[in-house]
Amino acid sequence: MTEDRLAKLQIWMQEAGIDLIAIGPTPNMRYLLDFAPIADERLCLLLVGPDAVRMVVPSLNAEQTAGHTAVPLNIWEDSDGPAAALREALSAMPAPRRLAVDGAMRADFLLQLEDEIAPQETVDAGALLAPLRQRKSASEIEMLAAAAAQADQAMAAAIEACRPGVTEAEVAWAAEVAFRQAGAEEVLFTLVASGPNGAYPHHHTGQRELQRGDAVVIDLGASLNGYKSDITRMVHLGAPSEEFLEAHEAVHEANQRGRAAVRPGVGAQDVDHAARSVLETRGYDEYFVHRTGHGLGLEIHEPPWIMAGNDVPLAEGMVFSVEPGAYIPRQFGIRIEDIVVVTEAGVRTLTGYDHELVVKE
């Protein structure tokens, strides 16, 4: 499977006039090799040429790397430094005129590479990799579904923990424990934004105690086999106001309309428009301050971007969030977020937790 990915990349790089692609130990490497060593300051590069592939790897990670890939390794020792191994790897390929680099790798890796080669042009490899990574295989979709099921469990635990007098951090901890118990390999974020804090889409979960009358935004994500989860649901402590219920209804409908617009061939921006126009009609557009969604896979945010101006046609296997919101300064915030897959027939929603507002005493 990963040989196919490398082979496709080699065809596409030639079509794009790229002579060399340099990939660090990032989600791009994990995608191409099904493995990436733990990233640190030691030079670790997958070098993809039109006819050859090499990997420069520090000796402490060499054995583990060799167990995951048949790509020839150029191994270096801490006491020697990476320059000779890098030079040897590059000698297997023609001198590159156009270099494409992994935008997520360390800048000093690029500087070390440029000590050895002098390309006329350096571009972001993201444009080459996005078309490959955007369309998930059946096995990737099942991994994302398993990650989403964990997020549902963590959401149940977080909602259970919400009550007056409990801090945001304590609610976040309940979600974190649930993720770990369900087998998540890494908990990425447990955002709990209560009352007026909810008006910040990226609030830093803190020591505020939940109070009766609070709307609580809970946005959770973790990693399972490298694949990410992301879900947002709403809780209200005590009876909600008319004003809150109206806004909640608008966001809820925007989420449903956004997801209902998903099918192959529709532009990414049309999903944004479907969700946004509900909020416009109901007078909340000025409070919806971010794009409708982002792709999800080995990274929590990756293409396709679900926003105005992105006319990329949706295709079977694309996975992304639909997460409209309304943020009323100093009062409350609302966001309802799901992860969806584009299917042949239309759409499948991976996040399963009930969408209705949870009202607790």
Smallest gap from Cβ 31 to Zn ion, in A, equals: 20
Query: Among the candidate windows 38-46, 86-94, 108-116, 333-341, which touches Zn ion by CB under 5 A?
Result: 333-341
CA distance 38 to 51: 27
170 lines the binding site for Zn ion (CB under 5 A)? no
Of 157, 357, 92, which is closest to residue 246 (Cα–Cα)?
357
Smallest gap from Cβ 335 to Zn ion, in A, equals: 7
CA distance 263 to 346: 4
CA distance 271 to 207: 36
Q: Give the tokens for residue 28.
A: 């791009």
Closer Cβ to Zn ion, 176 or 219, answer by number? 219
Residues numbered 269 to 328 that lie near Zn ion (CB under 5 A) are: 321
Closer Cβ to Zn ion, 174 or 231, answer by number? 231
230 lines the binding site for Zn ion (CB under 5 A)? yes
Smallest gap from Cβ 93 to Zn ion, in A, equals: 38
Of 202, 254, 212, which is closest to residue 235 (Cα–Cα)?
212
Smallest gap from Cβ 337 to Zn ion, in A, equals: 5
CA distance 136 to 227: 11
Omega before 164 within 30 of 0, i.e. cis: no
Smallest gap from Cβ 231 to Zn ion, in A, equals: 7
Closer Cβ to Zn ion, 75 or 231, answer by number? 231
Q: Give the tokens for residue 295.
A: 């792709």
Closer Cβ to Zn ion, 86 or 220, answer by number? 220
Query: Among the candidate windows 14-22, 227-235, 256-264, 341-349, which touches Zn ion by CB under 5 A?
Result: 227-235
CA distance 255 to 274: 9
Smallest gap from Cβ 255 to Zn ion, in A, equals: 12
Distance (Å) of CA 104 to CA 22, 23, 27? 11, 9, 8
CA distance 281 to 207: 37
Query: Among the candidate windows 58-66, 112-120, 213-221, 237-245, which touches Zn ion by CB under 5 A?
Result: 213-221
Interface with Zn ion (CB under 5 A), residue from 168, 214, 219, 299: 219
In the complex, the residues that contact Zn ion under the rule CB under 5 A are 219, 230, 232, 321, 337
